[in-house]
Structure 1
Amino acid sequence: MAHYFIAIQLPENLQVYFSAWQTELQTKLTYKQWTHQKDLHVTLQFLGEVDDNKIRQLTEALDELERVSSFDTKVGSLGIFGNPNKPRVLWAGVNKTNALAQLQKRVESCTKTVGFPEENRAYTPHITLAKKWNGTGSLDRNTIEKLKEAWNETRPMTVEEVVLYRIHPKQTPKYEVVKQYKLR
């Protein structure tokens, strides 16, 4: 079975912007996977393996997202998840506005109606730039702090649609748009 997730696709100008960050950061940090420019996104909910029947039900349930109004937020500022000496994920932050938090809850409500469980962790919106630390040793904490200081600029982003993606792990780019939901 294929894996799926629901997300906000970055507009092309922000894909280019964060891809430039990645190019520079690759000279300073060692990761196994750097997210392809076309795959940059803000996850709203990861679904995992889903059969075709459930995907049909889900695409109908998500139609209600088209009643949600578009909104603005800001993206940028470098961050990490995991051990600061060997951070497993390098990301760009997303301002968790009230509108974004409500959209994420609405997505979760839609998925719950077709049998997906609620996420137990708090929602932390971000754009994954790289994952799977591949350094030969530990990263100096000062290095991460200096990088965070250097890459702290934010850019505005208007959220106008939500996308249901299918994951193709052996392809580049990896994510296929299954359906787009235009916000009002």
Structure 2
Amino acid sequence: MSEQSSNAARLVILISGRGSNMLSIIQAIQEKHLDAQIAAVISNRPDAAGIVSAQQAGIDTQLLDHKSFESREAFDASLIQVIDRYQPDYVVLAGFMRILTAEFVAHYAGKLINIHPSLLPKFKGLHTHQRALEAGESEHGASVHFVTAELDDGPVILQAKVPVMADDSAETLAARVLEQEHMLYPAALKKLIDEAKANTP
């Protein structure tokens, strides 16, 4: 990773798959659009392609296989221990396919960020693109938001919108939203980091 300023925000990114949003954040940092450093990338799936991408970018990586734990609570408690070693300013969920316990969410209150493929509060949960089409929406998009104990319910930081075309399928709509996600996540993190700097005495 290229050098950041001494007061760059520290990020820990959690992934479960290829980590395309993680890659967009890495790129924003490398191009100096985002004054942050990625302290670690952590995956709950050993086969997550994003882990290799993070290692190639020189980022510390950790694997914590959720299948090795007896309960969701035990996994989350261990995940907290791993994350806290890196003392992050923000914990960034980038395709992390786990429902987190209330204890985990409370531990990172105000620091835990997620991206969701809809214009929240519309279409919380899964299958957002198909549901947007079925509802006859004229626009759709993505939201970056703080994570709270209720699924996809935390305060929205930033949104990106795309028009819904007459001939859209869930797949074409998803692809267009994902393009926006890759710009939206770094922009939302920049907004948070800039606001935090402005409020620091």
The TM-score normalised by the length of structure 2 is 0.21
Structure with greater helix share of residues:
2
The TM-score normalised by the length of structure 1 is 0.23
Question: Which fold has the larger relative contact order, with Cα–Cα distance below 8 Å and residues 6 or more apart in sequence?
Answer: 1
